[in-house]
Amino acid sequence: MDQLAPVCEAIARLLSPHAEVVLHDPRTDRVAGIWNALSGRSPGDASLLGELGELTEDVYGPYPKSLADGRRLSSVSAVVRDDSGQPQYVLCVNVDRTAFDDAARLLASFAAPVSGQPQALYERDWTETLNSVVGDYVRSCGTPLDRLSKQDRLTLLKQLDTAGIFAQRRSVPAVAQAMRISRSAVYQLLAEVRADAS
């Protein structure tokens, strides 16, 4: 216990205020120590370690738990064994997911679809079309721009040509910048696209 207490306190300090650290005595099934007690438990309270089974593994989790007020926890438990291999203590870290779930919801709200640009403006701004076509293609491939194969680049240029991008003045420099390739590469690949089409 004296050796493990500083470890438990260090973990609790690192994860404070989002986690509690509990040291259980499996022989008595009681809480031996607790740091940042989110659950309101105290040393001497029942551990209820039965949920982990026979303690045949060294590490359990992460697994879900809940607090009485409905907050969700992610928990992980490590079995500390004595020299004979018997469970001496079970160290549990219970992380309150509330802050992380709130942050995920906030980020998801930014990713929610927006109403979009007025079509009249969108039609006039060909660079928006360029960015949209390139972005959609990269997302559908799941490959970064700088890792696209030659065939991918040909397919993407064909889509841009079909969308009328190359009918615009100074489109080649914009396409080269959007695709992160040289202007000469755009001209060469576009020539291949149009040769195949004819």
For the stretch 45-101, pLDDT in tens is 888 777 667 788 889 889 888 877 778 889 999 999 988 988 889 999 999 988 888
The answer to whether residue 10 scores a pLDDT higher than 90 is: yes
Q: Count Cβ atoms below 10 Å from residue 32 Cβ, excluding itself.
A: 21
Which residues pair with residue 80 across a beta bridge? Answer: 89
**What are the CB-based long-range contacts (under 8 Å, 24+) for 79-87?**
79/26, 79/55, 80/4, 87/26, 87/27, 87/55
Query: Average per-residue pLDDT in the chain?
Result: 85
The answer to whether residue 118 scores a pLDDT higher than 80 is: no
Q: CATH 3.40.50.170: does it fit domain 4-99?
A: no
Lowest mean pLDDT among 68-72, 131-135, 138-142, 193-197: 68-72
Integer Cα distance of 15 and 61 in angstroms: 17
Where exactly does CATH 3.30.450.20 map onto the chain? 4-99
The residue whose two tokens read 């040393």 is 43
- Mention every residue, 6+ apart, whose C-beta is less than 8 A from residue 15: 21, 36, 93, 95
